[in-house]
Amino acid sequence: MHNLNNILPIKFKNVCLSFRSNRFFNNLTLEIMNKGISIIMGPNGSGKSLILKLMSGLLEPDYGIISHANKSVSTNLPCGFVFQKPILLRRTVRENLSHPLYIIGLPKKYHDTEIQKILPNKKWQKFLNFPAKKLSVGEQQILSLLRALIIKPKILFLDEPSSSLDPTSTSIIENLIRKATKQEVKVVMTTHDIIQAKRLADEILYFENGKLMEQGIATEILSNPKSLTSSYYVHDFS
């Protein structure tokens, strides 16, 4: 298990990010202190994906400080990142799962053991020698998540990981996420699906137009929202 003391808290201090002449984040300050699943919500264009990229070090701010446990974000490895659209190698499922193990320097003789540990069910045994690109979209996204998890990350960033997927694939992805948190992996993810947020979130951060409007315990925000009031979200989900 991981010691989350070397990941948390995640802090943004006066973070600014511009695109051409448009400043998207202006002195954004936030802090994620708790383990479990933090879900970032908000309408399209609110900055959800950008927040993940900044937190993971994939994107650098123009100004401001981003830190994990009071250290520069770039020093906190390993982390896993799963994008909304699967990005896979044109190789077999097995080779896609082996690739990150090569990168972290694990000797090849241990790869099969780690791959067997990560597979979600017996069906995936049959997929190992199958070309990854020939899997269904849902299966490709599950593979993307397995590939991120196989290196045992301290923190996992997920950008709408089950968007447009069928219920079976979504269920497998959510079970893998829950299993990861039980192994002390910090999860930060985005979703448009408020029902999914109710199932998974320990904490919610709600953004609009690059501004953090609301942050708090998921059950409290979803039952009594203050800013999460756009027509996209306002329904009776009880």
pLDDT digits 0-9 by tens, 146-189: 999 999 999 999 999 998 899 999 999 999 999 999 999 999 99
Residue 140 phi/psi, 5° resolution? -65, -40
Q: What percent of the chain has pLDDT over 70?
A: 91
Distance CA 1, CA 9 (A): 18
Among the four given CATH numbers 1.10.8, 2.40.128, 3.30.70, 2.60.40, the one describing domain 78-153: 1.10.8
Please choose, from the candidates 56, 96, 50, the residue with its C-alpha nearest in 3D space to the C-alpha of residue 77. 56
161-164 long-range contacts (CB < 8 A, ≥24 apart) are 161/82, 161/84, 161/189, 162/191, 162/193, 162/196, 163/84, 163/191, 163/192, 163/193, 164/137
Domain boundaries, the chain: 1-76+154-159+179-238, 78-153
pLDDT digits 0-9 by tens, 99-154: 999 999 999 999 999 999 999 988 899 999 999 999 999 999 999 999 999 999 99
- Whole-number pLDDT of residue 237: 44
- Whole-number pLDDT of residue 2: 54
Q: Radius of gyration over alpha carbons of the chain, in Å?
A: 18
3-state secondary structure of 43: coil
CATH topology of domain 1-76+154-159+179-238: Rossmann fold (3.40.50)
- Whole-number pLDDT of residue 224: 79
Residue 146 phi/psi, 5° resolution? -60, -40
- Whole-number pLDDT of residue 226: 72
Parallel, antiparallel or unpaired: strands 203-208 and 71-72 = unpaired
